């Protein structure tokens, strides 16, 4: 391993301050947890390339298991105990392998955790994973929910993977999901509380001070986002719909594929309206350009049946610095992965489709999204995943 890849924080950036406060942990605190063995790997050392401003990319291990159906281990079982019952066969990932659409796979990850009692973890697919309609969730031993690990979790990590629109090729070391860590304060938190969560009143103040969107912000249980079904000047499309039976996407190949092979353009309607066909997958964009200030992170709230029978935004944390320009206007759209669940559903231009919730970091990260770290979606408009030309 090259020296530049190893985790070696500077003395002034040892993460101790960030580890002493409540909220989401920034990059320097993640490095400290790695140094102390609370985040570790028995396979390969964790590299600097995995560390994002407020999250850690997780790597697939050497073997994938085709399983009968998705499952949770529950409070008394390990994932391995359930896997021994439900696995059909093993797939070697060391030379790369194709995971087929409609099938469910479980992959042991290279990383493992041994967290202190004040730190919990939560996960999300990476943005590029979600934009390919690859359903990915984190599972841990004796956990009762997906993508969430209780405070003090100690044990292995697994990724459940189900490609929906396109079959994908992955290999040992491929990074499909990412994990964040949250520290509570000195007093134990209630089950429904999330240390560092920014309430509506504070969010309005933050918008007044720094500008989360251009113009007036619609804030109710988070920053409300609306759908953009009006094309930009000179544009001929408002989104993309995934083609069926299009082929295989290699998750580690960047800028490799022709858009038209995998996607069909969604053109604007004269009434600025779009009918979502059941179970079809769309890539659309928010009407608002949004920003995440340096001391904060954000994520889309889960599916809300009160706004319609569809799901928006399957993946992607919003890192500190996303769309943010000090003294400037918010500069990045929220690209939305959209699927109508069981029935056709009509969207109108400007309709509220989701909520962006913000959390405080325990300390401003030493690196921001887009600042020389190869961020693929800074300043984005309507944009497919990084795999397409």
Q: Return the top range by mean pLDDT from 118-127, 234-243, 298-307, 319-328.
A: 118-127
What does the mean pLDDT of the chain come to? 89
Residue 5's pLDDT band (boundaries 50, 70, 90)? low
Tell me the backbone φ, ψ of residue 221, rounded to 5 degrees: 55, 40
Kindly state the tokens that stand for 177.
Answer: 């999901």
Indicate whether 190 pLDDT > 50. Answer: no
Q: Between β-strands 167-170 and 97-99, what pairing exists: parallel, antiparallel or unpaired?
A: antiparallel
pLDDT of amino acid 9: 45
CA–CA separation, 155 and 144 (whole Å): 15
Residue 21's pLDDT band (boundaries 50, 70, 90)? confident
In tens, the pLDDT along 196-222 reads 899 999 999 999 999 999 889 999 999
Environment class of residue 261 by beta-carbon count within 10 Å: exposed (0-12), middle (13-18) or buried (19+)?
A: exposed
CA–CA separation, 282 and 347 (whole Å): 12
Q: How many residues does the chain have?
A: 389
H or E, element range at 336 = strand 332-340
Lowest mean pLDDT among 269-278, 322-331, 349-358, 379-388: 322-331
CA–CA separation, 177 and 181 (whole Å): 14
User: How far is the first Cα of the chain from the last one, in angstroms, to the nearest whole number?
Assistant: 31
308 in the Ramachandran plot: left (φ > 0), alpha (ψ -120 to 50) or beta? left
Percent pLDDT > 70 in the chain is 89
pLDDT of amino acid 54: 96
Kindly state the tokens that stand for 270.
Answer: 């004269």
**Coil vs helix vs strand at 330:** coil
pLDDT of amino acid 304: 65
CA–CA separation, 361 and 19 (whole Å): 10
Which parts of the chain fold into alpha helices (H)? 27-35, 79-86, 127-130, 200-210, 259-262
Residue 191's pLDDT band (boundaries 50, 70, 90)? very low
pLDDT of amino acid 220: 92
Three state DSSP letters for 88-132: EEEEECCCCEEECCCCEEEEEEEEEEECCCCEEEEEEECHHHHCC
- In the numeric block, the tokens 């699927």 are attached to 339
In tens, the pLDDT along 115-159 reads 999 999 999 999 999 999 999 999 999 999 999 999 999 999 999
In tens, the pLDDT along 267-306 reads 988 999 999 999 999 999 999 999 999 999 999 886 566 6
pLDDT of amino acid 30: 97
Are 320 and 53 spatial neighbours (Cβ–Cβ below 8 Å)? yes
In tens, the pLDDT along 58-113 reads 999 999 999 999 999 999 999 999 999 999 999 999 999 999 999 999 999 999 99
């Amino acid at each position: 391993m090259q020296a530049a890849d190893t985790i070696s924080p500077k003395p002034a950036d040892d993460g101790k301050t960030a580890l002493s406060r409540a909220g989401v942990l920034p990059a320097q605190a993640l490095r400290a947890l790695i140094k102390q063995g609370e985040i570790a790997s028995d396979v390969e050392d964790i590299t600097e390339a995995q560390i994002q401003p407020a999250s850690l990319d997780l790597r697939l291990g050497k073997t994938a298991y085709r399983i009968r159906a998705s499952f949770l281990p529950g409070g008394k079982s390990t994932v391995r105990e359930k896997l021994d019952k439900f696995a059909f066969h093993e797939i070697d990932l060391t030379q790369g392998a194709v995971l087929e659409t409609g099938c469910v796979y479980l992959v042991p990850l290279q990383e493992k955790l041994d967290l202190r009692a004040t730190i919990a973890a939560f996960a999300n697919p990476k943005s590029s994973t979600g934009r390919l309609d690859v359903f990915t969730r984190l599972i841990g031993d004796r956990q009762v929910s997906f993508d969430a690990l209780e405070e003090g979790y100690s044990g292995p990590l697994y990724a459940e993977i189900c490609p929906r629109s396109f079959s994908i090729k992955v290999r040992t070391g491929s990074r499909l999901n990412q994990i964040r860590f949250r520290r509570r304060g000195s007093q134990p938190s209630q089950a429904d509380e999330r240390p560092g969560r920014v309430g509506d009143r504070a969010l309005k103040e933050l918008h007044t001070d720094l500008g989360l969107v251009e113009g007036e912000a619609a804030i109710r249980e988070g920053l409300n986002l609306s759908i953009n079904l009006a094309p930009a000047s000179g544009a001929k499309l408002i989104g993309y719909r995934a083609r069926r039976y299009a082929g295989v996407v290699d998750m580690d190949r960047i800028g490799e594929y022709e858009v038209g092979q995998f996607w069909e353009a969604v053109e604007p309607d004269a009434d600025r309206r779009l009918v979502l066909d059941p179970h079809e997958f769309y890539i659309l964009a928010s009407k608002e350009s949004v920003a995440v200030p340096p001391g904060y992170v954000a994520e889309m709230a889960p599916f809300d049946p009160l706004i319609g029978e569809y799901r928006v935004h399957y993946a992607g944390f919003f890192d500190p610095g996303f769309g943010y320009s000090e003294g400037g206007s918010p500069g990045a759209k929220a690209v939305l992965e959209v699927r109508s669940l069981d029935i056709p559903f009509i969207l109108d231009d400007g309709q509220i489709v989701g909520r962006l919730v913000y959390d405080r970091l325990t300390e401003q990260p030493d690196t921001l999204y887009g600042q020389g770290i190869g961020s693929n979606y800074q300043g984005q408009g309507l944009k497919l995943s990084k795999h397409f030309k």
